Amino acid sequence: MKIASRNTELVLPMDRLFPRFGEKALDIPSWDEGKGMYLVEQYQAASGNRSLTYVGVSDQLLLEMTLGHYHSWEFVNKVRAMVYDGEEFRVICSHDWPQSTHFRKEEVLPVIAASLTEYVLESGNPEGMGEAEVSAEIDRILSDLFTRKVTDLDRRGIRRILASYCRRKEICVDFTREYNNDIL
C-alpha cells in the first residue's frame, strides 16, 4: 500500500516485506533455521537452475556457502572461509565441489574442517599447537558457527559483521543502510 504525503509516495514496511507481485521486496538477509545460516543472495539462470549464497558468522570466522538447486535437488558448489583482518574480509580457504555433489551438512563439514586445519598448520601455527589440538579448536569454531540462532545476530557485533560483509559484496542493501557509519 502506498500513501501520498506532500507529493511523495511512502511505502509501508509491510508492503516491502510482502510486496505485490512485480514489485521489489526488502533486500535483507533471511535466516534459514535448517542450515543455521543467512541467505544473502540468490540467482536464477535462464535454464531454471538457482544459485543460493548463505553466510554463517561465528565470533572468529565468516563462512560463505554457495548452493545450487535444480528441481528438488540441492548441491554444494563452493565454500569459502573468511576472516576480517581489520580492513577487509580475507579468504583463508576455499573448496569447490563437482556439480554432482549433493549437499549434506554432515559430509561437507569435515571437508571444511580439514581445509581450515591445513590453513592453520601451514600458517606457522603461532601457538605451537599439535594437529589434534588445532583440529579440535576448528571443530569448536565450526560447531559454534552452525549452532547459531537468529537471536544471536545481536550478540558480540555479529550484526555489524554481517552488514559489513553485505556492504562489501554489494548485497542486502536495505540491511546495510542502517549501518551507514557503524560498519567495520
Please name the residues in contact with 79: beta carbons below 8 A apart, sequence gap of 6 or more: 63, 64, 65, 66, 94, 95, 108, 111, 112
Instruction: Tell me if 10 is assigned to some domain.
Output: no
Instruction: Tell me if 3 is assigned to some domain.
Output: no
Report pTM: 0.77
**Are residues 55 and 37 in contact, defined by beta-carbon separation less than 8 angstroms?**
yes
- Rounding to the nearest 10 degrees, give the CA dihedral for residues 33, 169, 163, 57: 40
DSSP state of 124: T
Residues 64, 37: Cα–Cα separation, whole Å: 9
Instruction: Tell me if 118 is assigned to some domain.
Output: yes
- Counted domains in the chain: 1
Instruction: Tell me if 62 is assigned to some domain.
Output: yes
- Per the structure, the complete domain to which residue 48 belongs is given by 25-176
Instruction: Tell me if 1 is assigned to some domain.
Output: no
User: 63-116 pLDDT, tens per residue?
Assistant: 999 988 877 778 888 899 998 877 788 999 998 887 667 777 777 888 889 999
Supply the pLDDT for residue 92: 92
Supply the pLDDT for residue 2: 40
Instruction: Tell me if 182 is assigned to some domain.
Output: no
SS3 call for 40: strand
User: 25-38 pLDDT, tens per residue?
Assistant: 667 788 888 888 88
User: 121-161 pLDDT, tens per residue?
Assistant: 888 766 778 888 999 989 888 887 777 777 766 666 777 88
Supply the pLDDT for residue 172: 82
Of the candidates 28, 91, 29, 88, the one whose C-alpha atom is nearest the C-alpha of residue 63 is: 91
Supply the pLDDT for residue 178: 59
Looking at the DSSP bridge assignments, the partners of residue 102 are 75
Supply the pLDDT for residue 109: 84
Supply the pLDDT for residue 82: 93
Instruction: Tell me if 19 is assigned to some domain.
Output: no
Instruction: Tell me if 76 is assigned to some domain.
Output: yes
